[in-house]
Structure 1
Amino acid sequence: MPETPKPSPPFEHAVHNWEVCKELHKLTKYGDWVVTTAFYSGMKFMEDTLFPNTYDHPVKPGEQNEYKTFNAYVRDFGKTLGANKHKIMSDMVNAHIDDEEVVNSYEDLKQSCHTARYINYKVGEDRVKMALEAIETIRVFCVQ
């Protein structure tokens, strides 16, 4: 990888998942896990990009807090938002990432992962290709 990695745990986790994704793709018979590792890599790249930062309180306009980690944000607002980590991250990506291609790539990965994990693990090559393209779009955006 030619870019200099950022020294954060989410970034390191993202790179690990991305490397696993590429290795699984070489095996050709684990498309569901290629899609899954691509999504989790994307989620960690986004976590690294979005945190630390200051965010508005989701139900108290004007109130802001600084959050060093995504987990701290989820701890404070998960119950208030009535959502799991995946939904919260998806909402954050949609609200705070200005690149439509990145947002769409993230949403495609999220939906494809959900389908591969819980509905049908038999993932076609077209979906695998989409996942690899989507994670590359996200990765390039997040390492700039």
Structure 2
Amino acid sequence: MIRRHGEPVKPGQNYTRRPGVYAILLRGDHILATHQAEPIPEFQLPGGGIDRGEQPIPALHREVHEETGWKIAVTRRLGAFRRFTYMPEYDLWAEKVCTVYLARPVRRLGPPSEPGHTAIWLPVEEALHRLGNPGDRAMLARALG
């Protein structure tokens, strides 16, 4: 059973399952997060949806690069959680199945290519409060022990 974080399931609402991969990128006492400006400005773990036919680890590398501009080295799978949410950019009610990996930022290759995203180094103590969803915050707390 994968733990649910965030808003409760809306009775009668149909949700589309959307698997995704996300990274906790630690360097010292900071993490590399992404700040997404739209639709609601928030800090997030970098990552996103796995495209049809794509494997999780290549999807993680692609998504982190798009959202932060960084090349990463994946260390290990940390865990997974579910979120039931409306995704306005896709006009979709989604059951997001979020698998989170510990990874290491290797090299900045350039700016994020994903529109509206900015790579931000956050102190981990600040990130525990500022990440935009409770699943991201819980996974960071788990990573920190």
> TM-score w.r.t. structure 2 length?
0.27
Q: Which has the higher contact order (CA 8 A, sep 6+)?
A: 2
More strand by share: 2
Task: Tell me the TM-score normalized by structure 1.
Answer: 0.27
More helix by share: 1
